[in-house]
Amino acid sequence: MTRTVRAARGGTLAARSWQTEAALRMLHNNLDPEVAERPEDLVVYGGTGRAARDWASFDAITRCLTTLDEDETLLVQSGKPVGVFRTHEWAPRVLLANSNLVGEWATWPEFRRLEALGLTMYGQMTAGSWIYIGTQGILQGTYETFAAVAEKRFGGSLAGTLTVTAGLGGMGGAQPLAVTMNGGVALVVECDPRRARRRVETRYLDELADDLDDAVARVTAARGERRALSVGLIGNAAEVLPELLRRGVEVDVVTDQTSAHDPLAYLPIGVDLDDWPDYAAAKPDEFTDRARDSMAEHVDAMVGFLDAGAEVFDYGNSLRGEAKLGGCARAFDFPGFVPAYIRPLFCEGKGPFRWAALSGDPADIAATDRAILELFGENETLARWIRLAGERVAFQGLPSRICWLGYGERHLAGLRFNEMVASGELNAPVVIGRDHLDSGSVASPYRETEGMADGSDAIADWPLLNALVNTASGASWVSIHHGGGVGMGRSIHAGQVCVADGTELAARKIERVLTNDPGMGVIRHVDAGYDRAREVAAERDVRIPMREE
């Protein structure tokens, strides 16, 4: 029997308090068919990221949350509720640990073996910690990355620049809109016309070109007129990029979001789209070799654009590593996106702050958008995002919003939201959380902590301290996960969610959590030797014992 789960809306509680009602609604919201990839299997996103181990666990969690008292804490072990203990009103109502394995055992085969025995589940980042908000998170993260590119190289806007990239899939489809939201022109190569057309239908991509000549004419004209425009081109990136380079097309930014991390999901030159699945399944080794050869040609062209002066970066899809295996000697000449653009933001404790309206009323998000603009309107990147998101982002599940805020900012937003709940300006409480991809909450040597200044990429004490300090500070639920985003053995990360229910107690908790949580980002980067983090710590009074007299 297929079950349909959707979060309750409005002011009537099924649970005993808003703290537990919030966890209940966010668990259910993660499995809303508008939100989840495969709700029937409890899969929220990222292929296998689950909200609960199985339906029996889901039912038991739901039952516990509806009866949990304000001095009790529910413990969830990889999606299964395993205990309820008496704690106190400042303690989290739920503590979760997902997909964690002891180092030497932290491999995919071992994880799959244990999963098949029913002993664990893959929690991804926000799937197993009940704070996923759909594709808005991806769009905003991509917007923020391109904003950081604009800031670093082009005076704060992409107006008058051309970005060439490939891949219009689940993640990559956000690229064209993220570029145009930053004022730029994007040419996006995609080999599958169905994917490209879907992006036009959902308004993530403005138009599709007829062929390469047409595409070049359209993007060159828009670049010259400083007009924001995104153009899709059906083709193979490993052929189109070298041709663009050969023709001497002026390109300012180059990146890629094909599924390069999995060579069977990258279309090699000379393989027909229709033959792809059968060929990859029948001859995986041969297909892998051909994909890697093509990726080497693709990356050779990217290096050519780098030599010509373009801003070039790897967007977290392992393209450089695969191209290197395909024989591209200079694959690592250009950096990954975190060291290149995101780390300076992490030094300020900046990261993906998000919230959802438990009322279910979009008017509540509109009101919080206005509050954010009143508080931080002078930040142009943020203000542009909030205005454009209000116009262009369709909500999935409970209405929600995301924007990047740093140390010294997040608690101001949280306290304002709590006041708005208390005064009745909002129709019901809001939950405030974040992705685990944040400044001080993740150890991930292939992504968030790639190339740390002091070589501390794989040190995973930081996310554990992050979870502990959020627990000590009064978060409503706290989680520690393994593997999300990059796979088993490759990351450890932590999450927190606070509930702004309008009470004085919530204000005191929010003030601490939303200060200390981004504070972890500042101290982590001070410790690694980043000057910007030292400046932020000094300006904003973050105590660092080893830097005190």
Nearer to ligand NAD, 68 or 319 (CB): 319
Active site residue 403: yes
Q: 314: closest CA among 420, 447, 211, 194?
A: 447
Nearest CB to ligand NAD, comparing residues 171 and 347: 171
The terminus-to-terminus CA distance of the chain in angstroms comes to 66
Out of 191, 328, 347, 403, which one is annotated catalytic? 403
Contacting residues toward ligand NAD, per CB under 6 A: 166-172, 189-192, 195, 236-238, 257-261, 265-267, 315-317, 485
Q: How far is the CB of 327 from ligand NAD (least distance, A)?
A: 17
Find out whether 336 is annotated in a ligand binding site: no
* Residue 170 assigned as binding residue: yes
- Three-class SS of residue 166? strand
User: 117: helix, coil or strand?
Assistant: coil
Q: Give the separation between CA 246 and CA 228, rounded to whole angstroms.
A: 25
Shortest gap between Cβ of 67 and ligand NAD (angstroms)? 37
Shortest distance in whole angstroms from residue 287 CB to ligand NAD? 12
SS3 state at 37: coil
Which residue number is nearest to ligand NAD in terms of Cβ? Answer: 169
Is 195 annotated for ligand binding? Answer: yes
C-alpha–C-alpha distance, residues 393 and 346, integer Å: 25
- 160 token code pair: 């008058």
Listing from the earlier edge strand, what are the strands of the sheet with 185-190?
Answer: 207-208, 229-234, 185-190, 162-166, 253-254, 311-312
Instruction: Give the number of residues written for the chain.
Output: 549
Does residue 267 have a known ligand-binding role? yes
- SS3 state of residue 523: helix
Structure-token match 């956000």, residue found: 174
Q: Is 46 annotated as a binding residue?
A: yes
Query: Is 171 flagged in the annotation as binding?
Result: yes
Nearest distance, CB of residue 262 and ligand NAD, angstroms: 7
Nearer to ligand NAD, 27 or 442 (CB): 442
In terms of CB distance, is 93 or 324 closer to ligand NAD?
324
| CB of 270 or CB of 455, closer to ligand NAD | 270
CB of 257 to ligand NAD, least distance (A): 4
Asked if residue 172 belongs to a known ligand binding site, the reply is: yes
Look up residue 286 and give its two tokens.
């041969």
Per the DSSP assignment, residues forming a β-bridge with 84 are: 74
Three state DSSP letters for 48-95: CEECCCCHHHHHHHHHHHHHCCCCEEEEEECCEEEEEEECCCCCCCEE
Distance from C-alpha of 262 to C-alpha of 287, rounded to nearest angstrom: 11
Distances in Å between the Cα of 448 and the Cα atoms of 283, 321, 427, 456 are 34, 16, 37, 12
Question: Residue 338 or residue 507: which is nearer to ligand NAD going by CB?
Answer: 338
Question: What residues does 453 pair with on adjacent strands?
Answer: none
Give the shortest CB-108-to-ligand NAD separation in angstroms: 15
Any idea which residues carry the catalytic annotation?
403
Q: Which residues sit in the known binding site for NAD(+)?
A: 46-47, 124, 170-172, 190, 195, 236-237, 257-261, 266-267, 315, 485
